[in-house]
Amino acid sequence: MKNSRKKINKNLVLLLLGRGVSDMGASIQMIVMPLYIIDMGGSAATVGIYSFLFLATVLVYPLAGVLGDRFNRKTIMVATDFASAGVVLLLFACSYFRRINLTILLMAQILIATLNGLFDPATKGIVPQIVEQSQLTKVNSGISALRTISVLLGSAIGSMLYAGVGVTVLFFLNGISFLLSASSEMLISYHNVKSNESGDNSGLLSDLTDGIRFILDNKIIGKLCVYFLITFALV
């Protein structure tokens, strides 16, 4: 019994590794891009627009939750990390060949924010299926702490890399980090459990509509949504 309790949960380790690297990569992207936009000659308003586009993460959450209930969460995690790697490596290519501009950066921000919004709920939903119920609260607390550490490290590392090696190398390293994250997640042994085995499109749309209707009907949640939208627009 003692040996089984001390046995390392390989799936959890792989999940934490993938999530930590992915969160760090997203944090590096968020801290460096405003600096780069300013250096490109962009204004404070442009930086504000760039930051506001991160709202795509929040807007895609309802859809992400429904997708996570109906499709393989591991597949969603791996696919979004590979897609994020593709976007960032495309930025690397544009920067290397001096074809990068503000329009490309803003489009990339929308894509990365959307992919992050799909990635986050999938990782949260997979946790109860790879750890024991008794450890769930402890693991979730650890994941929250890891995310905070990853964001702080990403901000510090991103700033240092940008000042030291420039944005082109940073794009390349960040793209590789997303590839490593996806590779780690591919090794997770996971049996997907669907809330609805049929998985038809009508049911998917119905679940999404029910979620939106619930938000609209709940005055407190509605006011909070409006508050955060205004905050994103002004900060």
| 3-class DSSP string for 99-126 | CCCHHHHHHHHHHHHHHHHHHHHHHHHH
Q: What is the reported pLDDT for 165?
A: 87
Q: What is the reported pLDDT for 78?
A: 92
* Spans of the chain below 70 pLDDT: 1-7, 192-219, 221-235
The model carries a pTM of: 0.79
Give me the half-sphere count of Cα atoms (radius 13 Å) on the Cβ side of residue 212.
Answer: 10
Q: What is the reported pLDDT for 32?
A: 85
- Does 194 map to a domain? no
Cα separation, 36 vs 85, whole angstroms: 19
- Does 96 map to a domain? yes
Structural domain boundaries enclosing 177 = 9-127+149-186+218-234
Number of domains in the chain: 1
Cα separation, 193 vs 191, whole angstroms: 6
The CATH number covering residue 93 comes to: 1.20.1250.20
- Does 227 map to a domain? yes
- Does 72 map to a domain? yes
- Does 140 map to a domain? no
